[in-house]
A = this chain, B = another copy of it.
Amino acid sequence: MVDRILHGDTRAVAQAISLVENNVKESTDILRALFPRTGNAYRIGITGPPGVGKSTLTNRLAKHYRAQKCKVGIIAVDPTSPFTGGALLGDRVRMSDVELDEGVFIRSMASRGSLGGLSRKAREAADILDAAGYNIILMETVGVGQSELDILRAVDTTVVVLVPESGDGIQAMKAGLMEIADLFVMNKADRPGADQASASIEFVLGLRPHSGQDWQVRIVKTHAHEGQGITEAAAMIDQHRSYLQTSNAFVERRKKQLKQRIQEIINEQLHFDFWIPERTAFLTQQIEKVFSRSLTPYDVAQKLIAHFKQPRGK
């Protein structure tokens, strides 16, 4: 399978991502084998509140990069995205036309009902696409919640998409999107209030401390549905990429991501090693005593940790 992935076989790519998604043990071996061939794709996060047109923008950007002969991978982790088949109450948007393009690989990953580790899985899926020779990876996520934010911490450029209405700018700031945005897209910019909304985001950006960084976050207006502003948005992404790559920032960012990745692998492994049936059963057993206050949570935790740490065979 590793060989087939490295040769860009889309069926092998899809299968490997499924193994990752279902937490199949062999997926680690595949990822380990693929890792030396990763690091070449440029990863772009597309985020913002529901209904702002993230998928349409993702779709348009994919087309833009295809016109530049790039292979494009799309990973959609968004309950409201047409890629994921979400749109719980809203209109079901037509499926993307890039889906028929062989140079575009689209994979949706559900955020609900996931077996956990969603952000890890999304990043591992990106690694598989990276090793398979995709040059651009677009990761679409609604950007609310820890695992979604974790996904964005693993991209090179984060695009925050907003629309003129509903004070999204301030909401976005409160949700922490402001801190992670490398670029804002004001989509549906044909609607009234677009200039004012852009101005207020610029105002907020002006308040933000620069923390010694040279990159100045800016706003691009688009009307993605009509294909307007896409070239400008892509040009801004390129500018950010050049900024990262000519400064030390790119290498630093990627090293930091690898460090977080290792810490995450360790946490998952420790969790797996810790919660063997014996200790899980002990915990369930002791809850009664904790509930009746004859034991404290700290006592039970201590006993379980001591059991975990004792050398085998004793």
Contacts and interface: CB of A to CB of B under 8 A. Distances in A.
Contact of A298 (B28, B147, B259, B305): B28
Contacts of A80: 174
B259 A287 contact: yes
Chain A interface category by residue count: 35 or more
A174 B291 contact: no
A144 interface: yes
A215 interface: no
Q: How many copies does the complex hold?
A: 2
Contact of A142 (B146, B173, B174, B298): B174
A296 to B, nearest CB: 4
B293 A39 contact: yes
A265 B301 contact: yes
14 contacts: A35-B297, A36-B296, A50-B170, A88-B173, A89-B170, A144-B175, A145-B175, A146-B146, A254-B291, A255-B288, A262-B283, A263-B283, A267-B271, A269-B301
Interface of A: 28, 31-32, 35-39, 49-50, 79-80, 88-90, 142, 144-147, 166, 170-171, 173-176, 204, 251, 254-255, 258-259, 261-263, 265-267, 269-271, 273-274, 283-284, 287-288, 290-291, 293-294, 296-301, 304-305, 311
